Amino acid sequence: MTSNDTRYMRRALTLARKGIGRTAPNPAVGCVIVREGRVVGEGWHQKAGTPHAEIHALAQAGEQANGADLYVTLEPCSHYGKTPPCSEALIRAGVRRVVAGMVDPFAEVSGKGLAQLRRAGIEVAVGLLETECRELNKGFVKYVKCGLPYVIYKSAMTLDGNIATVTGNSRWVSSEKSRRFVHHLRDVCDAVMVGVDTILMDNPQLTVRHVRGRSPLRVIVDTHLRTPESVNVLTGPLAKKTIIATCETNPRVHRRYELQGATVMVCDEFDGRVSMEDLLRKLARFGIQTILLEGGSRLAGDMLRNHLIDECIFFYAPKVVGNGFAPFNLPGIETMDSAIRMEIKQVGMSGPDVVVHARPEVPCSPD
């Protein structure tokens, strides 16, 4: 690989990021076509069921794709899904060389697309900027390998570790810049999830407002259907993109929410509450690859203890409130030896707030 190869793959990654949060259940993919040192075609996958990144780039390149080098963040597909195989399109276009960032983990494709290109006489290289390419599609990778969405837990807290005061007041813990950051996270995730206690206490909208973007699906975990019909997430058009996950099986009770446009998802029960693993598997079958978990503390604690959280983003505001509420409710941990250990991946600033990115040391995602 040359420095130019790396430069073109970085450009493909930049293109792919335009599709994050828009392509599920497909991956986000970017593609660049280069001939004689000049970019002649670019593309990215924009939405499931529409042409893939390679097809957009080939359309832009036209006849100049013949004899060109193609850089793509993920192995070209080789099967018939909602669209024809990209590998066959590359062969027909006469591409000379294909550089892929990573092998597609999807079993129907994995390695087959690259093998088909090699059989056609196309030079193939794989693994350039693979770490970045895998990070780009961490939701897709977990989705196809485990049948579960990738879960990011977000929490804003004071320096002494409280998400709210002793009275439950939490507006606002973090800065305006940090809140914009969270709205960006909502924009690039397929769903945002909270427990019913958060709905009852804060009545959030769970939409994207502080940045330009689209609002994700909303998931309310409500074992006994305590969500009032008057809350924001069930008002007007918001209800149509809201799922209420419950163990309540009475169809007459469900009907109240369904008449407002919401979806009621009945899940298995575990320890007297919604089984989060069952819910996550149902959401994966619903096409959800990435979830932003925003609370509350009991739900977050339950998911962390059961290894269902992949990544945490903690916003620490320069404030101290003393007694309050912790981000995780984890009963039973009495010694430091029993603590759930985290690996800190990155530390930065968001306005006056410190931002810590961490992952549990016991992973729930495939490598």
Q: Say how far apart CA 179 and CA 173 lie, in whole Å.
A: 10
In angstroms, the CA 283 to CA 87 distance is 30
Nearest to 161 by CA among 339, 348, 340, 324: 324
CA 2 to chain centre: 31
Cα 222 from chain centre: 22
User: 21 preceded by cis ω (within 30°)?
Assistant: no
Taking the C-alpha atoms of residue 174 and residue 164, their distance in angstroms, rounded to an integer, is: 11
Q: What residue type is assigned to position 94 of the chain?
A: G
β-pair type (290-295, 150-158) = parallel
- Write the DSSP assignment of 121-161 as a string of letters: T-EEEE-TTHHHHHHHTHHHHHHHHHSS-EEEEEEEEETTS
- Please tell me whether the peptide bond between 105 and the residue prior to it is cis, using omega within 30 degrees of 0: no
Strand (E) or helix (H) holding 113: helix 112-119
* The one catalytic residue among 54, 75, 294, 311: 54
Q: Is 248 labeled as catalytic in the residue annotation? A: no
Nearest to 95 by CA among 126, 124, 70, 120: 70
Annotated catalytic residues are 54
